[in-house]
Structure 1
Amino acid sequence: MRNNFVDLGCTPYFIGPVLFMTYREKEPIFLGRIDTDKNSISSPTGLKSSGFRFNNSPITSNNGNDAVANLIPASKENCNKIHVSGTNIDALSSALSNTQNNYNFVGNYVCDSNGNCGRAIGAMQFMSSNPDVRKIIVSKAGGQEFLSKLDSGEQITGEEMTQYFSPSEQQTLIDSQTNNLLSTASQQIDPITGKAFTGERLIERAAQIQFAGTNITIDSQAINPNDAKTVKEYGEKTKTKYKQNLQSMNCL
């Protein structure tokens, strides 16, 4: 003690803190006066990561294409893109891809009873043996080597998948395949009505064909090895998603 004061050591300065206000955990904290002439509110940007990494992306054979832009699927909300059956192409193609909801999906290497082998890949789970898929992949530098890895059953990373078969390329192919699926399904007979598939049943059947092949039994209870749902359940889920898409697109 010096002159009735607490000895603070050699420094002549008081080292705080000075108690101003007390707060409990999670209570609001006073930060000062808000200037009403200025925008003092900090808001989140709302931006989210795309989940795709653009470094080391392969270069396509068409030098005019933007490799980065090709990784981003275009927004699809065209109420006028209608199949001859009356089905909205954008709503159904989105339902078919969103049911899987994974553009970088790579399934196991499998063979069917006819000896056709390959792996289900991408949002719509196209088979790697699909000529259209292979044409897209081989058009890129390193594409042939990537196909060899797919064909031999080697491990494929999600980054490799979206580099060689990008989301936008998948979506373009999905649109084309959606038209083909509807045309094929509309020529088959619905056992419930005894007539050709139409309306919601056409959507279910098109999804079943996409999920398990043209010759799959209608409303089959078989389970796809790459998915926990039965063929019938997949068709029903796609139909529900299709109706939701129509509503969100304001096409009803």
Structure 2
Amino acid sequence: MTDYANLFRLDGKHAVVVGAGSGIGRESALALAAQGARVTAADRALPAATETAALGTNLTAYQLDVLDEQAVTKAASELADVDILVFTAATNVRKRILDYTGEEFDRVVALNLRASFDLIRAFGGPMAERGRGSIIGFSSIRATTVEPGQSVYAATKAGLVQLLKTAAAELGPSGVRVNAIAPGVVETPLTAQIKANPDWYDAYAQKSALHRWATPDELAGAVVYLASNASTFVTGSVLHVDGGWTAVDGRFDPPN
């Protein structure tokens, strides 16, 4: 009989959260630890990861630059017996296509897509060998709905969804689940440019069904769900946590 009282507990599990130094990554690390997991809070900035680790119990800081493929491989080797991998690191250059440079394109693709590819390979292999694991990558509503200035970011997030779905198909027979979370607009350092413009900020708030932005902690529940036994038959999925953004077509409220 299923132990529903402990359905979301993660006792005895080792979780690695990449991008845990701030924002959604930090809240995800804290939430997983609160459910009993032993969490490695990984970030390029070790002081930020250390700050996250100090906010809870069962958290250890780890410095990791995911743009360094060898560092990712080394991390997967050093951080043994990883049951849960969460990665949130991303960047965006908001420019129209005709204004984009090749260097900017490469920079966004390198972090948002190539680094994700390297993480899945490095950590997914050992998970498959042990016959268990949950990989959770952060996509975006921009994987399915776009606006001017979001071309390369949207392309990488759509590509990430397909990469994760393929990993789910390939690793599923070995007991590894792979899923994506697609946030809407969240108040993080990545969206600081928008938040600084009141009209832009309000337009985004009004687009969702809830008429507001999310805070990073509102994504943590989805992470715990996909990491836990509450989702043992969920793989290859995209979980939208977007306040209804992708469910609402248009902004005009017709008269009665």
TM-score scaled by structure 2?
0.26
Q: Whose strand fraction is larger, Structure 1's or Structure 2's?
A: 2
- How high is the TM-score relative to the length of structure 1? 0.26
Name whichever structure is richer in helix by fraction.
2
**Structure whose CA Rg is larger:** 1
